[in-house]
Structure 1
Amino acid sequence: MTIVMKATAKVRNTSKRVVLDGGGKVTLSGEGKRRILYMNTCDKAQVWTTSHCDDQQWPQLTVQNMRFADGNATGERAEGGGGGAIFVRGGRVKVVNSAFVRNRCDATGPDVGGAAVRVLDQWRDLPVYVVKSTFGGAAGLGGVCSNGGALSSIGVSWVVLNSVFTHNKAVGRGANPARGGTPGGGSGGAIYTDGNRFTVRIAGSVVSDNTAREGGGAVFFVSNDRTGTLRIEQSTFRRNRSAGFETKGFPGIFFLGAGRPQVVSSSLR
């Protein structure tokens, strides 16, 4: 079953645990016209429950066993935009056994990103979990955004397990900060992460055939204070094209953080 969304579904901040379970049978479609799902603890329109909206426990959102297709956040300006299928600020979010295809967000901008999922702030800086999920999966199915053709965040940690990222694109131009005369963006073909202290762990996953017009055809990781860490375990990275720049010795990855990326029992080529 495909449910065509005529408006973006929004999580009320008075909720506790919210679970959307498609049972492996449901596709939510944004028709290429709108974002599919939105949660923002700092949005008073969804009920402002605390003055510490950027660090609160609830709501806790889980999406599982579902397909998100043709979401489009192009033109969204609140919180910097991004998140073609799902946008989250605050609380917690987890993605399990789900697929994301043909999602979009703005094609230019130095920091806007996340054609599939964009996350800002998580309670107590706990990580976002992405488990057994697919972003793209075949030619023509990948996400497209200025940065982060699949995932994007600022100051947020991620644990990505047993997932697939293929044919996603970062299509902005000019990187971040934007070079003179450019609109900025173009980094993190699959995953774009920025901020200070945060971590990214990718395990048991396949990341292939993603492209970035600027840096990090697969992963763009910048920890501004150089405290963040990137760890890749039992994963395969291949044919991720960085048209502009990447970190020497780590094909498809641009990394600025603590030391060097940790690569364990993995293939990068």
Structure 2
Amino acid sequence: MRFRRTAVLTMSLLSVAATMPAATTWAPAYAVTTAMTPAGVSASARGNPAGRVPVPAEGRAVNTSRPTRVIGNGTPGSCTSRAVVAAVAKGGIITFSCGPRPVTIRMAATAKVRNASSQVVLDGGGKVTLSGGGVRRILYMNTCDRAQGWTTSHCDDQAQPRLTVQNITFADGNSTGQRTEGGGGGAIFARGGRLKVVNARFVRNRCDTTGPDLGGAAIRALDQSHDLPVYVVGSTFGGAAGQGGVCSNGGALSGIGVSWVILNSVMTGNRAVGRGANPARGGTPGGGSGGAVYADGNRFTIRIAGSIIRDNSAREGGGAVFFVSNDLTGTLRIEHSTLRHNPSAGFETRGYPGIFYRGAGRPSVVSSTLR
């Protein structure tokens, strides 16, 4: 079965870069208040410590007190790339025993989820970093990839695997040159099933630097089951100068037709560095939108709550958030959050600094700061 986003790839943005220097003309319908102070967030912290937005049950960490399998025998040397790859392929609830100190596991191969797995939980216990070494993607799930097992005739909308990453850091992932399913996903690529991210950090991840619809230096998500959202909770993308992700679009997150719920999280220093927008202007390779978040498709939603999105940038549109719902059914809601200093070098929606928006009505902004 072919991936159903073909029309999206050709419709996106409607050549807005060439026609829309100031974007839409409505005035913002919100009161600007200070929800939290971005200063002082530790570079090693996971998420926004001032975020107090309640997390629904489906967005919370998985109980890993009874793991299916444990990587390592209590020493750093026992926690290897080979062990991670094998454990992820077998599935279940996975924890680590690598000793009392933080450990970095440099991945010699990408860990791939098998499509027959009902659940894969990767819990680093707050001590484990998985590193792509600047040369490879770290984690991969694709329900339409026959190499990972063919489990259903409707691969683009199956309920499993359910992939959760929690209490873990993904560093120096790089999917450059990996163009399957449109590319992107320097640290994590997830198509189909469900993805959830809780108390995680993503630093210095990369993907291709050009391409009109390619994105997600940290995470690229496609075709979530029944169009349910990806939860990103208490997590940090970047967090300090030089630690952010870099990609053509979506310096942190990218999705096509995917809904996101981003709660109590931090996104700083991420960059969309492509040139030419989407569809690409003549003589350009395309890209450059969504410094932190790039979202495209038809009917999808984004909710950002209790979060800080600061000091991200886009060479084209949406230094913080790029949101295009081609059929104008999608909605964007920002609550109790701070979006500050997210320059859009090309275009953004007037009255909403750092945001380019095409969707149903206006973005909903509640008790938040946009500057």
Which TM-score band (shorter chain)? over 0.9
1:185 paired with 2:287, answer yes
1:211-261: CA deviation from partner (whole Å, max 9, x where unpaired): 000000000000000000000000000000000000000000000000010
Runs of 4+, deviation exceeding 6 Å: none
Could you say which residue in structure 2 is the equivalent of 1:133?
235
Residue in structure 1 matching 2:148, options 42, 46, 62: 46
- Paired AA for residue 158 in structure 2: Q
The aligned residue for residue 115 of structure 1 is 217
Report 1 or 2 for greater relative contact order, CA contacts < 8 Å, sequence distance ≥ 6: 2
**Pick aligned residue for 1:258 from 331, 350, 360:** 360
Per the normalisation by structure 1, the TM-score is 1.00
Name 2:249's counterpart in structure 1: 147
Q: Are 2:335 and 1:233 equivalent residues in the alignment?
A: yes
In structure 2, how many angstroms separate the alpha carbons of the residues matched to 1:166 and 1:250?
18
> Is structure 2 residue 206 aligned with structure 1 residue 104?
yes
Give CA deviations for 1:153-209 in whole Å, capped at 9, x if unaligned.
000000000000000000000000000000000000000000000000000000000
- SS, match of residue 276 in structure 2: coil
The residue number in structure 1 matching 2:95 is: none
State the 1:77 CA deviation: 1.3
Cα distance in 2 for partners of 1:83, 1:96 equals: 17
- Secondary structure of the residue that 1:100 maps to in structure 2? strand
Tell me which residue corresponds to 1:21: 123
Confirm whether residue 246 of structure 1 aligns to residue 336 of structure 2: no
Identity within the alignment, %: 80
Structure 2: runs of 5 or more not aligned: 1-102
> Aligned with 1:242: secondary structure?
coil
Hey, what does 1:159 align to over in structure 2?
261
Q: State yes or no: 1:93 paired with 2:198.
A: no
Aligned partner of 1:70 among 158, 172, 178: 172
Which residue pairs with 2:114 in the alignment? 12
Richer in helix (by share): 2
- Out of 73, 76, 80, the residue aligned to residue 182 of structure 2 is 80
Secondary structure in 2 matching 1:61: strand
Between the aligned partners of 1:48 and 1:117, the Cα distance in structure 2 is: 23
TM-score (norm 2): 0.72
User: Alignment partner of 2:289: what SS?
Assistant: coil
Q: Following the alignment from structure 1 to structure 2, what is the Cα–Cα distance between the partners of residues 238 and 27?
A: 29
Secondary structure of 2:202's counterpart equals: strand
Structure 1 unaligned blocks of 5 or more: none
**How far does residue 140 in structure 1 lie from its aligned partner after superposition?**
0.3
Is the radius of gyration larger for structure 1 or structure 2? Answer: 2
What is the deviation of 1:68?
Answer: 0.2
Aligned residues: 269
